[in-house]
Amino acid sequence: MTEFSLAELCITAGSDIFRDETPEVFATVIGLVPRLAGSLAKKTFLPGLMMSDGEYYFAHEPVPVGPRNGYMPLKEGAIGYERVFDLIAKGNRHAFVGPVQVDQYGQMNLSCIGDYSSPKVTMLGVRGLPGNTVNNRTSMFFQSHNKRAFVPGEVDMVSGAGYNSARYPNGIFPKGLDHRRIITNLCVLDFEGENKAIRVRSLHPGVTFDEVQDNTGFELIRPKDLSETVAPTEIELAIIDSLDPNNLRKNIFKDNPNGRRL
């Protein structure tokens, strides 16, 4: 049986969010798992996927993460910040991001925790989440699935919009609101429950539904045909290795655990 790490399982599950994407989607992938996931999708089944080099250019080939050691990204266009805003508004974009909190509506927080005027914890700010979430497909990665991240009620500061009709004029969701998946260290979640409720889509090998539910601050939908997260193939593992030649992925989870719980 093929050996793989939990990080590699999350990267492969992350690439799967692009499986039903448009052929030339612009993917914004922030953080190591989203970046490697998007890169893997481009190298395996979605060659038209558009990615940046992380700085300014559209890269023809996914840029390996970490020290470049002489590697020069192969440019095929420009994607400065102003153009990013234009493409967010145009809509054919999938943002795969790592917020700090998420709630039952898929609302995200990247701003602060606690009282808004003098927060207990100040983070980055809302960044582009308000615009991303009502214009583009949105997926998330959480390195640690627990009740501090998957909060009861609503997140402390709703930075990214979700499926909470009380927050919209006449209760109508914006046309562009389209949350897809959440990848965590325990499972893959989606928004395919009734009224866009969050559902467990697959459990990572050895994880139970109850464990996921116990670590989530709101009720999750349990589908009838709850499957196991698909393991990476040898080919996928080799591609991941080529995209991460310095093995930065070994530091995503403490002690770099096996993808199959022992």
Partner 1 sequence: MSSFEINKCMTPEKIVSQIEDGMTIGIGGWGARRKPMHLIREIVKSDLKDLTIVSYGGCDVGMLASAKKIKKLIFGFVSLDVIPLEAHFRRARSAGEFEVMEVDEGMFQLGLKAAAARLDFLPCVAGLGTDVLTHNPEIKVIQSPYSSDNYVAMPAIKLDVALCHVTEADKLGNSFISGPDVFFDEWFCRAADVSYLTAEKIVPTSSFNDDYKIMRMPIERSLVAGVSEVPFGAHPTSNGPDYGIDVDHLKLYSSRAKEGWSQYVEEFINCEDYIGSVGGVEKISQLPLPVF
The contact set with partner 1 (CB under 8 A) reads: 53-57, 67-68, 78, 80-82, 85, 88-89, 107, 111-112, 116-131, 133-135, 157-162, 164, 167-170, 172-177
Q: Which is nearer to partner 1, 135 or 229 (CB)?
A: 135
Q: Which is nearer to partner 1, 5 or 109 (CB)?
A: 109
Q: Which is nearer to partner 1, 89 or 230 (CB)?
A: 89
Q: Which is nearer to partner 1, 38 or 131 (CB)?
A: 131
Q: Which is nearer to partner 1, 15 or 136 (CB)?
A: 136
The distance of closest approach from Cβ of residue 57 to partner 1 in the complex, given in angstroms and rounded to an integer, is 7
The distance of closest approach from Cβ of residue 142 to partner 1 in the complex, given in angstroms and rounded to an integer, is 16
Q: Which is nearer to partner 1, 161 or 189 (CB)?
A: 161
The distance of closest approach from Cβ of residue 152 to partner 1 in the complex, given in angstroms and rounded to an integer, is 17
The distance of closest approach from Cβ of residue 63 to partner 1 in the complex, given in angstroms and rounded to an integer, is 8
Contacts of 225 (CB under 8 A, 6+ apart): none
The distance of closest approach from Cβ of residue 147 to partner 1 in the complex, given in angstroms and rounded to an integer, is 21
Q: What is the DSSP string of the chain?
A: ----BHHHHHHHHHHGGGTTS-TT-EEEE-SHHHHHHHHHHHHHT-TT-BEE-SSSEEESSPPPSS--TT----EEEE--HHHHHHHHHH--EEEEE--SEE-TT--EE-SEES-SSS-SEE-S--TTHHHHHHHSEEEEEESS-STTTB-SSS-SS--B--S-GGGSGGGPPPTT-EEEEEEESSEEEES-SGGG--EEEEE-TT--HHHHHHT-SSPPB--TT-EEPPPPPHHHHHHHHHH-TT-GGGGSSTT--BSS--
The distance of closest approach from Cβ of residue 100 to partner 1 in the complex, given in angstroms and rounded to an integer, is 11
